[in-house]
Amino acid sequence: MNWARASAATVVCEEKGTTLRDIVQGIMDGAETPDTVMQLLGLTDGDKGTESIPEIMDVFVPVVNAWRSGGCGGGCAGCEGSCSA
């Protein structure tokens, strides 16, 4: 799945009702590893869909960090080259 283009309402973990928005919010709240996001959202390794969390984080952690620092500076895989910096 192309997580950079997915709707925020995309369900990642059906069992717990976790959406892409929830995971990105976890990143915004400071989680920078899959384990930290899972702990924050009350997910376990046995929950179906959690295997996608590392891929989601690969896209959104650099974007969130770039946003926090005020610019991309290059190398933002999640931006797909749309940065104007």
Q: Over the stretch 61-71, which tens digit does the pLDDT of each residue have?
A: 998 888 877 76
Q: Could you state, in order of their start, the residue ranges of all structural domains in the chain?
A: 11-79
pLDDT grade for 79, boundaries at 50, 70 and 90: low
Give the predicted TM-score (pTM) of the model.
0.78
Q: 73's torsion region: left (phi>0), alpha (psi -120 to 50) or beta?
A: left
Top-confidence residue, 74 or 25: 25
Query: Cβ(37)–Cβ(23) under 8 Å?
Result: yes
- Helix segments in the chain, DSSP class H: 20-28, 34-41, 53-69
Whole-angstrom Cα distance, residue 60 to residue 62? Answer: 6
Q: Over the stretch 6-59, which tens digit does the pLDDT of each residue have?
A: 999 999 999 999 999 999 999 999 998 999 999 999 999 999 999 999 999 999
